Amino acid sequence: MLKDALVTHKSFGAGKVTDISDQYITICFEDAIKKFIYPDAFKSFLTIQDDALQRKINDDLAKKEIHEQEKKQQTKEQPNRNEDKIFTRTKAPKKQMRANIAFKCNYCDGGATENGIGFKGVCSDDIIYNNVYIEKRTWCSSEGCPCLQYISDSINRFELEEYMQGDIESGYVCYESQMLRNWRAFAGIVQTGERKGMPMKLNQVQRNSLAVLTTRIPNTDEQSRFIFAVFMVDESYEGDEHEEGYVGTNSKYKISLSLEEAQQLLFWNYHANQNQASVPAWNSGLHRYFDDIQAAQILKDIVSVKKGSADEQVCKEFLEYFCTVNNVELNDVPLPNGALKMG
């Protein structure tokens, strides 16, 4: 119905629709052929003169909005059901071992300040270019990513930034861009094998687990991976066949670090692989589990790094609280013995 329709783009001018699918619309302009997310593109930077087609687009936009609201409502309801499964033993006789969790995050300097590493908005042009074309990050280089559309001139910077202006729960361009705004981390999607494209689950994380967010600066090796934030989990959803798992927090026990502080907390000082323990290699997957001793070691070192700062007191309280609720004797916590400490 929309094929061959005439449209107008704020930046590229007049164009003609050459292809349309459930997710994308392709438009031929005078100087270029561009692909946009459909029907979202008609919210702000695409217009069409045909009234009948405009009504169809409005209908598609309304349907998508209803679908997204339903998904959001399901996501809000699911953590409560999940908590019942975890904590009501009669409903879940198979006991899951509680663990702490570390996430592998793409470097994001969105919203970076002198005292803040970023992870609060859209990345700079240099980091977008790196994540899309040099390191070819899975989401960053996929057709549905707004950053790819921006760096390939399908949308401008203003249009890209508009993605962050929506509802705090859904207004973001990628998981990383909302991490230190929403304090939520997602399990991700399976990238290879028979389950490729399926959502991943988080089946060992419970309330009072520690979540650790890690990254590395572009063009550095894996042994340089550092911890840029930690939080105490008080919201968790294991995930199912349709929605990936996630963890989040609304508590006061959440700490972010500046880039200078974070680079003093190398992840592989604390963690080691079961095979080739002295080799700092993350390999596949976006998350991995670790025990309470390693968690306490990380929190102890954060207290040292934050000494003299405005965050020092809450870091101490965080460490004491974690050890108390998880029965860790702080005085017996050994020195870190991760991959970088071996050999």
In tens digits, what is the pLDDT along the chain, a chain of 343 residues? 788 889 887 767 888 989 887 677 888 888 777 777 788 778 767 888 888 888 888 888 888 777 767 765 665 555 444 444 333 344 444 445 788 999 999 999 999 998 899 999 999 999 999 999 999 988 898 888 999 999 999 999 999 998 888 665 667 888 899 999 999 998 877 766 676 777 888 878 888 899 999 999 999 999 999 999 999 998 888 777 777 888 999 989 999 999 999 999 999 999 999 888 999 999 877 889 999 999 999 999 999 999 999 999 999 999 999 999 999 999 999 999 999 998 6
Question: What are the start-end ranges of the E strands in the chain?
Answer: 6-9, 13-20, 24-29, 33-37, 46-48, 100-104, 184-186, 210-215, 226-232, 235-237, 246-248, 254-256, 287-290
* Type and span of the H or E element at 319: helix 312-325
List the one residue out of 302, 293, 99 whose CA is nearest residue 211: 99
Cα–Cα distance, 149 to 140 (Å, whole number): 10
Tell me how far apart the terminal alpha carbons of the chain are, to the nearest angstrom: 66
The pTM score is: 0.73
